[in-house]
Structure 1
Amino acid sequence: MSLGANRHLIGRPMANADFATPALLIDLDSFQANIATMADLTRRRGVDLRPHGKAHKSGRIGRMLIDAGAVGVCCATVREAEVMADAGLDGVLVTTPVVAPGMIARLVHAREKAGSLALVVDNAVEVECLAAMARPDRPIDVLVDVDMGLGRTGITTPEEAVALAERISAAPALRYRGVQAYYGHLQHVPALGDRHAKVAEQWRHLAGILDALAAAGLPAEIVSGGGTGTHHLDLAHGPFTELQPGSYLFMDKQYGAVEMAPGGSPFRTALSVAARVVSVAQPDRVIVDAGSKALSTDAGPALIASGASPDAVYQFMGDEHGAVRLAAGSARPRLGDLITFTAPHCDPTVNLFDQFHIVQDGRLVDIWPIEARGH
């Protein structure tokens, strides 16, 4: 893939008039620290780590995570799974049910390239389609998807879990491995105590399903779930054999508002969006070249990271533009200045770009393609 318009600036300072914006930035030191921190936290608890690729959509980053000790990579889309398999990564887990035969065929093909590939299911139709397409000499691992209160996908009763596990186990080309139990709706509960109470309720629900599977002779070898916002609770008290967080790599405005763990978050904000001031015609604001096509819109406005007063406020002004509203008496950015923003929500912000611009000590040191956009 192309390295984009800034490829000739690698090795030069970020404060460069030729730097094309908007651009997605990774602070390399913070990013590497986040990788090491989560790897260490899970290792010390004896829990496997399978980070979620929906956060980064990058085969290169997937490889870095596995090299740091991860057992594999989670994927939310068929395209993500294909990219990770093409990168030669092992332990690919597709975390959403896939029912279209053509998309299942693509996953079966990806299995030819990956050391192992697993899917989650919550219905017999998907199991039957997988069983018909997969090869016994290249079996596909399958987890029963359990609804953990999100109300999105996943079975809801022990009886459903046992029936699906039995159906998977009867298929020669499939290997029943356990369950996925993800509670995305609890990742951003602000207070740690409130979040603990809510996840504990779901753990009790999951325990009934795990007990039923074990009683049926189908114990769950893998219990995959958890996330960035619940990682502290998941590791200290949870039922998981592996965690699948993703946003910890980058962090964002949403996670900055969460009481992540006692004493604060162990992770640094590593992701930002650089934009340039393109108009100073309005007296109370400056206009930058980053709008809804450069910053996610599902979590309110972005935060000012650098280049403008901390009390300045970002406002979406359309697809290509945003306003930085300035408080009375605050320093006014000049035409052409760079302003960086903390993303409201990191995952969908990454999905808006084709490259990561890697920054260290104020210099652009590399550019990494984002290959796994699309479906």
Structure 2
Amino acid sequence: MTEVGLAKEQLDTPVLWVDLNILERNIALLVEHFRRAGVNWRPHVKGVKVPELAHMLVDAGAIGVTCAKLGEAEVMAAAGITDILVANQVVGPRKIERLVRLARTADIKVAVDNAENVNALSQAATEQQVEIGVLVDVDTGMNRTGVQPGPAVVELARQVHAASGLRFLGLMAWEGHTLVHKETDVKHGAIVRAVELLTKMAADCEAAGLPVTIVSGGGSGTYKVTPFLPNMTEIQAGGAIFSDVAYSGWGVETTPCLFVRSIVTSRPAPDRMVFDAGYKALPAWIAQPKPIGIDHIVKYSTSAEHGVITLSEPNLQIKVGDVFDFVVGYTDSTLFLHNQLYGIRNDVVENVWTVSARGMLT
């Protein structure tokens, strides 16, 4: 039986849902934001995972999507998304075989930071007579993946450019380390310094005669700054379409529109209430979810199947059976836990989407 057309109040809990009116406004705001900056938008879907939403983003103006894992890219390609960047290293024979197969049906691009990996990609692509787009991953301060800025970036780019079966496209980086800064001026300066490392490497590649068509980076936590810096060509911000408690704390100014609806299952004390959404449905690992309509909260804590709100003063009005919507703490650690995402407009279910890319860890 379809749940489309049901009132929100009729849904069983816990349930993940998105306010479609707000989502559409957020997408329109981001499209216009990146248009004014003069950059392409390639939203990251690691926290979206729903192909129908990816199509919504492309229809609104995104040039394609960014994926964290090859498995996500396979799901998106199977659903008809054709311009895909895997902003990660694809390593090992089985993954490279899958990547080569995917290159037959999609314009697929990958990140590299290792010469041996470049050789393996080249050999597989050449044997299967496909071409794979490649971006050299640059470490601009995140201290995760990437080549350290300097001659090694140009050398790896030169190797990619010369490799059969590969198409050197440019560079990418993620300045996520700058999100720790709360002061606007300090954060802005940190973003500028990180992005300048990336664009300087792009200029060095061009000076070496290498064609740089893509300089990719930026995320939702830096979307107000990075797009407007010189020589960036595309931005990977994706989570800002939903926003949440964490993104709001990182300065994202779109409106939170992703919620988990949960019912009060126990009132063991006047200053404590228990919900049916534990960390399997509504985790608090990155940021505390925010319930709408409950005041004087000291903390929200979770076990596997229970969410517990502790209050600073007694509340005798909220009863067992009352239902509340929580703004999710962090989309990336919440959405993938759910099988379905409900699209709701004016409190009525309009869509029930399968979270098709959840569990795509390889």
TM-score (normalizing by structure 2): 0.94
SS at match of 2:320: coil
State the match for 1:332 in structure 2: 317
State the match for 2:282 in structure 1: 295
CA distance in 2, matches of 1:257, 1:29: 22
CA contact (8 A) 1:253 1:342 kept: yes
Return the match for 2:215 from 202, 223, 231.
223
Paired residues for 1:90-239 under 5 Å: 90-114=82-106, 116-135=107-126, 137-187=129-179, 189-239=181-231
CA contact (8 A) 1:203 1:239 kept: no
CA distance in 1, matches of 2:216, 2:155: 19
- Identity between Structure 1 and Structure 2 (%): 35
Return the match for 2:326 from 321, 341, 364.
341
- Give how far 1:289 is off: 0.7
CA contact (8 A) 1:223 1:242 kept: yes
CA distance in 1, matches of 2:58, 2:358: 21
CA distance in 2, matches of 1:254, 1:98: 29
CA distance in 2, matches of 1:285, 1:332: 12
1:260-312 per-residue CA deviation (whole Å, 9 max, x = no partner) reads 4xxxx2x11010111111112333212101111112332242111x2x42333
CA distance in 2, matches of 1:336, 1:113: 50
SS at match of 2:109: strand
- Give how far 1:139 is off: 0.9
Is residue 277 of structure 1 aligned with residue 264 of structure 2? yes
Bigger drift between 326-335 and 174-183 goes to: 326-335
CA distance in 1, matches of 2:102, 2:94: 13
CA contact (8 A) 1:210 1:219 kept: no
Bigger drift between 245-254 and 232-241 goes to: 232-241
SS at match of 1:96: strand
Return the match for 1:312 from 292, 297, 318.
297
Which 5+ residue runs of structure 1 have no aligned equivalent? Answer: 1-6
- Give how far 1:83 is off: 0.5
Bigger drift between 202-211 and 103-112 goes to: 202-211
State the match for 2:6 in structure 1: 12
State the match for 1:85 in structure 2: 77
1:207-251 per-residue CA deviation (whole Å, 9 max, x = no partner) reads 432232122111421000011121111122243100000111111
State the match for 2:243 in structure 1: 251
**Is the alpha carbon distance of 1:254 and 1:82 closer, same or farther for their aligned partners in structure 2, counting shifts above 3 Å?**
same
CA contact (8 A) 1:357 1:368 kept: yes
Which letter maps to 2:73?
Answer: A
CA distance in 2, matches of 1:63, 1:317: 34
CA distance in 2, matches of 1:358, 1:343: 15
CA distance in 2, matches of 1:149, 1:321: 38
State the match for 1:370 in structure 2: 355
CA distance in 1, matches of 2:63, 2:232: 14
CA contact (8 A) 2:68 2:87 kept: yes
Number of residues of Structure 1 aligned to a counterpart in Structure 2 = 359
CA distance in 2, matches of 1:126, 1:146: 15
Q: Which 4+ stretches in 1 moved above 4 angstroms?
A: none
SS at match of 1:165: helix
Which 5+ residue runs of structure 2 have no aligned equivalent? Answer: none
- Give how far 1:327 is off: 4.1
1:23-77 per-residue CA deviation (whole Å, 9 max, x = no partner) reads 1110101111111111111122221000001020111111111111111100001
Which letter maps to 1:14?
Answer: K
1:77-98 per-residue CA deviation (whole Å, 9 max, x = no partner) reads 1110100110111210000112
State the match for 1:4 in structure 2: none
TM-score (normalizing by structure 1): 0.91
Which letter maps to 2:265?
Answer: V
CA contact (8 A) 2:41 2:235 kept: yes
- Give how far 1:331 is off: 5.4
CA distance in 1, matches of 2:25, 2:75: 25
Return the match for 1:50 from 42, 49, 62.
42
CA contact (8 A) 2:136 2:171 kept: yes
